[in-house]
């Protein structure tokens, strides 16, 4: 399958890495020669230097033979033009990154009229992730499956937690909740654990459970399960607009600190229910005056990763508020993960998840069985939800007898609307959806998880 990616920024480079590792034929286009050279020297991709909206450049990149063109430059209009030209020149599927709130109410019209396969908005996706976390502040990250009936929740075990020194096989008895822990990140190691695994302080775990059981689990740990009452947001960019609007709809009070006066006036018009403060949110005096010590949640959304990281560290030193930090730069992943800055949001990963799911669906000529796909733990783990079709080789076989490849765990089965945390005797039936957690990338169907006979 041949894919062209226009734009080699954070999102484009993440996609190029992910999709090339899965064996797709990738060609990248960018006007900056250095960016193209960096990717072609690092990954198994071809590169073309030039304007992705140029017919000649697209032809050089092979648009007439391409199956899909993905336009993820910083310009919405350029992305749409790239897709329009690719559609006319090659007839391939097209995906455009469109971020501006100006187009948010017109996305359906634009998609249909231009014949786009998918429109992705990284800022809106990031805001949706943040609002879900602020609705359940005990979590570092929340992903939903089975039409939101099942949650996969990331959580950091603190010193003195009831989870410390418990083996997973004893978890249900000692905590009294029907949950599964399919992923543990300990230091730099990511583990798909077995029943003998013993939890320790500072482990970052993922809890898979029916939504109501997840709430009960956190209550028994003594953690808050209600949404925050108010949030302080630093930076009034696009992500802020999407996030603040969602929080206001949830009944959460929102205070936004933005240093550009003209932008403050725009925000006041767009969101009259939010409190807009004209000031520099990176200054200690401003934060103290505006109530950082009293806020339930602190969200750093400036355009600079360094500022967001320092703001989160400052807030962490003063308050127990729920922290959310937006980070774009790929090279900061390892550093940030060791700072315990609360919930770290990487818009590039969220965008890559959505596009990768679409690509895998295209790749399966019979129609993909992937219902949901999430990339976790800095892209090292995938959680996938598969729809089980009538000809699937896993039907009717006890899970204990299924020969799965290494580092693959079946974490949940949804059968006729009932959520089941399975044991070895559980069986999968046609029409079920199955959540699978793995460190193996590139699965397109649940049968890809089976060992070859």
- On whether both 57 and 102 belong to a single domain, the answer is yes
- On whether both 388 and 305 belong to a single domain, the answer is no
- On whether both 267 and 333 belong to a single domain, the answer is yes
CATH code, 269: 3.40.50.720
The two structure tokens encoding residue 332: 């900061």
- On whether both 326 and 392 belong to a single domain, the answer is no
Q: How far apart are the first and last CA of the chain?
A: 27
Q: Is the pLDDT of residue 366 over 50?
A: no
Structural element, H or E, at residue 34: helix 33-42
State the pTM of this model: 0.84
Residue 288 in domain: yes
Pair 164, 432: CB distance under 8 Å: no
- On whether both 249 and 326 belong to a single domain, the answer is yes
Phi/psi zone of residue 403: left (φ > 0), alpha (ψ -120 to 50 degrees), beta?
beta
Q: Which of 39-48, 221-230, 292-301 has the lowest mean pLDDT?
A: 221-230
The pLDDT of residue 297 is: 97
Binned at pLDDT 50, 70 and 90, residue 368 comes out as: low
Binned at pLDDT 50, 70 and 90, residue 328 comes out as: confident
The pLDDT of residue 224 is: 85
Last residue of a domain, one of 62, 85, 120: 120
- On whether both 279 and 378 belong to a single domain, the answer is no
What DSSP assignment string belongs to 50-97?
A: S-TT-HHHHHHHTTTT-SEEEE-SS-HHHHHHHHHHHHHHH--EEEEE
Residue 224 in domain: no
Residue 180 in domain: no
d(CA 65, CA 211): 45
Residue listed under structure tokens 């990176």 = 282
- On whether both 400 and 330 belong to a single domain, the answer is no
d(CA 257, CA 242): 15
User: Which residues share a beta bridge with 450?
Assistant: 404
The pLDDT of residue 100 is: 87
The pLDDT of residue 451 is: 85
Residue 162 in domain: no
Last residue of a domain, one of 120, 145, 173: 120
What's the CA angle centered on 344, arms 338 and 349, to 5 degrees?
110
Q: Which of 121-130, 155-164, 337-346, 386-395 has the lowest mean pLDDT?
A: 337-346
- On whether both 313 and 398 belong to a single domain, the answer is no
- On whether both 43 and 103 belong to a single domain, the answer is yes
- On whether both 340 and 411 belong to a single domain, the answer is no
Q: Is the pLDDT of residue 279 over 50?
A: yes
- On whether both 368 and 307 belong to a single domain, the answer is no
Residue 424 in domain: yes
The pLDDT of residue 330 is: 60
Question: How many angstroms separate the Cα of 287 from the Cα of each of 260, 309, 316?
Answer: 16, 15, 13
Q: Look up the domain containing 265 and give its range.
A: 230-345
Q: At what angle do helices 10-21 and 33-42 cross, to 10 degrees?
A: 20
Percent share of the chain, pLDDT over 70: 97
Average pLDDT estimate for 42-46: 95
CATH code, 445: 3.30.70.1450
Last residue of a domain, one of 97, 120, 143: 120
Residue 30 in domain: yes
- On whether both 335 and 375 belong to a single domain, the answer is no
Q: At what angle do helices 347-363 and 122-135 cross, to 10 degrees?
A: 110
User: Which residues share a beta bridge with 370?
Assistant: 386
User: What are the pLDDT digits (tens) for 180-202?
Assistant: 999 999 988 999 999 899 999 99
Domain tally, the chain: 3
Residue 186 in domain: no
The pLDDT of residue 361 is: 78
Residue 161 in domain: no
Average pLDDT estimate for 397-419: 92
């Amino acid at each position: 399958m041949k894919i062209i990616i226009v734009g080699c920024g954070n999102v484009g480079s993440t996609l190029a890495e992910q999709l090339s590792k899965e064996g797709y034929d990738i060609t990248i286009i960018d006007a900056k020669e250095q960016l193209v050279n960096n990717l072609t020297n690092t990954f198994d991709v071809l590169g073309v230097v030039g304007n992705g909206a140029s017919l000649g450049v697209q032809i050089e990149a092979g648009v007439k033979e391409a199956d899909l063109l993905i336009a993820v430059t910083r310009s919405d209009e350029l992305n749409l033009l790239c897709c329009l030209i690719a559609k006319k020149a090659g007839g391939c599927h097209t995906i455009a990154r469109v971020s501006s709130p100006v187009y948010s109410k017109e996305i359906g019209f634009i998609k249909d009229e231009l014949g786009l396969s998918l429109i992705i908005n990284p800022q809106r996706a990031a805001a949706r992730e943040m609002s879900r976390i602020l609705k359940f502040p005990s979590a570092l990250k929340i992903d939903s499956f089975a039409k939101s009936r099942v949650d996969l929740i990331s959580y950091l075990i603190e010193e003195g937690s009831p989870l410390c020194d418990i083996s997973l096989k004893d978890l249900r008895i000692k905590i009294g909740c029907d949950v599964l822990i399919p992923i543990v990140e300990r230091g730099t190691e990511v583990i798909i654990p077995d029943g003998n695994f013993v939890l320790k302080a500072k482990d970052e775990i993922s809890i898979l459970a029916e939504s109501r059981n997840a709430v009960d689990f956190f209550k028994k740990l003594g953690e808050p399960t209600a949404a925050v009452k108010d949030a302080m947001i630093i930076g009034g960019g696009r992500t802020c607009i999407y996030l603040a609007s969602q929080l206001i709809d949830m009944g959460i009070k929102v205070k936004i600190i933005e240093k550009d006066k003209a932008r403050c006036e725009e925000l006041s018009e767009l969101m009259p229910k939010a409190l807009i403060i004209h000031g520099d949110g990176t200054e200690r005096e401003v934060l103290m005056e505006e109530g950082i010590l009293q806020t339930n949640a602190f969200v750093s959304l400036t355009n600079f990763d360094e500022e967001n990281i320092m703001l989160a560290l400052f807030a962490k030193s003063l308050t127990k508020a729920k922290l959310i930090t937006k980070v774009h730069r790929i090279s900061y992943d390892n550093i940030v993960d060791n700072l315990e800055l609360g919930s770290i949001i990487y818009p590039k990963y969220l965008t890559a998840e959505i596009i990768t799911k679409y690509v895998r669906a295209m790749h399966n000529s019979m129609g993909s069985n992937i219902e949901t796909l999430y990339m976790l733990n800095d892209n090292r783990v995938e959680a996938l939800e598969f729809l089980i079709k009538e000809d699937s080789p896993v039907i009717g076989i006890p899970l204990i007898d299924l020969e799965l490849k290494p580092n693959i765990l079946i974490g949940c089965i949804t059968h006729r609307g009932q959520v089941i945390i399975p044991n070895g005797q559980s069986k999968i039936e046609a029409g079920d959806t199955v959540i699978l957690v793995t460190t193996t990338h590139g699965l397109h169907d649940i049968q890809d998880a089976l060992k070859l006979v």
